[in-house]
Chains A and B, each alone.
Chain A
Amino acid sequence: MAEFVGAFGVPHTPGFPALVEREGQSSETAQLYQAILDQLLDLRVDVLVVFDSDHLNSFFLDNLPALCIPVAADARGPNDSVPSLPERLVRLQPQLGMHMVDYLTRGQFDVSRSHHLSLDHSLMVPLHFLDPENRFQVLPIYINGLVPPLISSLRAHSLGECVLKTIAEWDSESRVAIIASGSFSLEVGGPRISDDGISGVPDPEWVLHVADRLKKGAISKLIDEATTERMLRAGNVGGELLNWIALLGTVGDKPCRFLELQTQFGHGYASWEVL
């Protein structure tokens, strides 16, 4: 059976590939991603399962899933023209994808599936830094984090618990790491952006609060606190926290082993030991 070997949280700021290209590998951002890449390599990971929120690029309002799992063999990205982020073909993991769609649908989640899609920066930025050599197979699990109504934090956490069971029952020798992609506080394009930009961090206190909950493993408190209204007070992209809460469903109440914030961007980098 497949083995769950590690859990990590990262941001997906679309400006980061260009920033690292300018500032070099010694930049803080490059170093933080590198610290996680080193752990993935140490763990001899084969498959990355990524809780992610598409940014109305892969999906649109004509048919917007609350939850979606790709069952395609591969997909290209980025589809949203991100500077210094070259287009590439990502190897997906359709067997695990279909296994997960089957397991979740027979259980408590009416999950959508996609046989054909492209990928936006929310997945491609993490892969740019964490899989520069295209060595991993990837399975994104899309959670709508941008367009209310959002699923509840409790439901996202339950999803994570079910995903963990699905991996444990997958007939494969693969070593699987789970990643959450997203911010804690971020406004993009809305009234709480900065005066000279198109984004902002409206609620740095929430970033610190979430970080404190992660450090202490106070997950049930975070689930209670992270209502849709509370997350969206932290920005119109604040629902990306659902990806982190889904990940917490796979690690239980363990405090994270490593957490570094970039509060100015409203996000952090984290890892959990699961073996």
Chain B
Amino acid sequence: MGGFISLSTYDVNLFCHRISVDPVFRNAVLNGSEKPWNESGLDPVEIEALRSGDVGLLYRRGADAFLLHQLARFQVEGLTPKRYAASMKYGRVLPRD
């Protein structure tokens, strides 16, 4: 793997699943709590990708696209549909509006 940090895609998928079906978890994330991030089991690369909206990277490394879309559906960390599409389709991470 030569320095490549492999994703634990299960944890990324689980994070997105909980955004969809767990309102307490979702509201904690949307309200800026660090607790759900700290307790997620995600590594720093995954957290950075999720928080910056680099869903294209997460997808290319194996995360499920359907689950990733939940991040934009609820605009986690300001991830708008336009920013989501830019990363997923073109690998461009746009700044937050």
Contacts and interface: CB of A to CB of B under 8 A. Distances in A.
Pair from one complex: yes
B73 interface: yes
A55 B68 CA distance: 12
Contacts of B68: 189
Nearest to A80: B20
Interface centre among B65, B68, B70, B86 (most CB of A within 10 A): B65
Contacts of B26: 81
A166 interface: no
Contact of A198 (B10, B17, B85): B85
B10 A197 contact: no
A87 to B, nearest CB: 11
A195 B66 contact: no
Contact of A56 (B64, B73, B85, B88): B64
B10 A61 contact: yes
A20 B81 CA distance: 22
Given A61-B13, A81-B20, A236 B82 contact: no
Contacts, number: 75
B10 to A, nearest CB: 6
A195 B85 contact: yes
A237 B65 CA distance: 10
A74 B81 CA distance: 35
B72 A198 contact: yes
17 contacts: A56-B66, A56-B67, A57-B20, A57-B21, A60-B14, A61-B10, A80-B21, A146-B66, A147-B64, A188-B65, A188-B66, A189-B68, A191-B65, A195-B82, A198-B85, A199-B69, A237-B66
Interface of B: 10, 13-14, 17, 20-21, 23, 26, 55, 59, 64-70, 72-74, 81-82, 84-86, 88-89
Given A81-B20, A196-B81, 11 more contacts: A55-B66, A61-B13, A61-B64, A189-B65, A189-B70, A189-B84, A190-B88, A193-B84, A193-B88, A195-B82, A198-B73
Interface of A: 55-57, 60-61, 79-81, 118, 120, 146-147, 187-191, 193-199, 236-237
